[in-house]
Structure 1
């Protein structure tokens, strides 16, 4: 009895594993020029899976003589998820024939499609948004959250709003409006600083005339006015450059991407 008990567990494990191994199948090429993996640019060009939003890649596996299974990877926010779709041998061959009749995708075509495949670079895009700028984030509930971007860490945006610091997980975001590149006008910087310093100096001079402090205090006030003016000038310059920079809209859901690309 003990002998059979000892054999039972290994046999049970093998009985469970072998069917799964059989279901894995062998990966087969879609066509000679596509190869074993259909990528996002090829999918857009050949329209193999036009109904799969945020398509990343797909591979085809021969399960048996009359069943081909495709495993489709797609992006949901920054995570890769997989769905499956089955073909008969005839359906798969028909697909191969259709693709072989089309011209092979070129690098120029790939580049034109790549510009619209921003969802493949979600993490990279969010990490490269310049902090310190004013951004607008559309929440999944439809509400907009606006504030100064402090950081992006652990798949969360940290925003300074007028009343509090808010953390927004990217899984709760539909869209973000931001400035991809902040313009710089160094030739205007001294004008901003100089004008702000003069205004600060002038304000404190006006204060001196009203209060009539001692001579030393008057110059102290003028100096403080100029310093505060320079600080304010730096802030005004930075804010102006941000506001003058072109806005970029980035959608994190298929629906928002469709709206942006219309």
Structure 2
């Protein structure tokens, strides 16, 4: 059986330049299938192409019929008073292309392309609204992100995270020792087949409002050494997966 191909288009949006109306419409088309409330054009721009970010990239994924079926938006922020950089992304994929898109690969390419990751202290920032995606991220980062079940509810570093997060988004709320972004995006339409493990259990405990679009705020410190480790891990897993596919 011929494998259905997913294609994509990468667009870099210069700072102080709005995204094209076509790009905004493509994101809206994807979200229409995933959420009960679609975002207006101006909401898309402020959410995925914020003026506060100095580096912005958007990748639109298309199914075999060339229909927009997913997006990955990436931004980089510079927090002057803390002398750090924050890498943030938003991703949404329709079921029909999940597992066929190298999201981690695109994120790694983006990170390696920014010189600040080589010179400054940097963090990855996620708003996780999918418990399965959260579990995948935690496993890929080998629990090198916060918050996670392995921290045992510890709030030792919460002041540092509070300072970082509120510099980026003051709409987050602190609850049960974590930070949550309360969303008005509308309820998540797709049903999720949950896998019972420690990561998903932690996520559900801390972010019960995910079905309404609320996001658990996740931070992970990164540097060149960690990026190289992630890159090796990414290609190792990809090689194993391809090998198993050929054998079967």
> Which TM bucket (shorter chain)?
under 0.3
Q: Which has the higher contact order (CA 8 A, sep 6+)?
A: 2
Greater share of residues in helix: 1
TM-score (norm 1): 0.25
TM-score (norm 2): 0.26
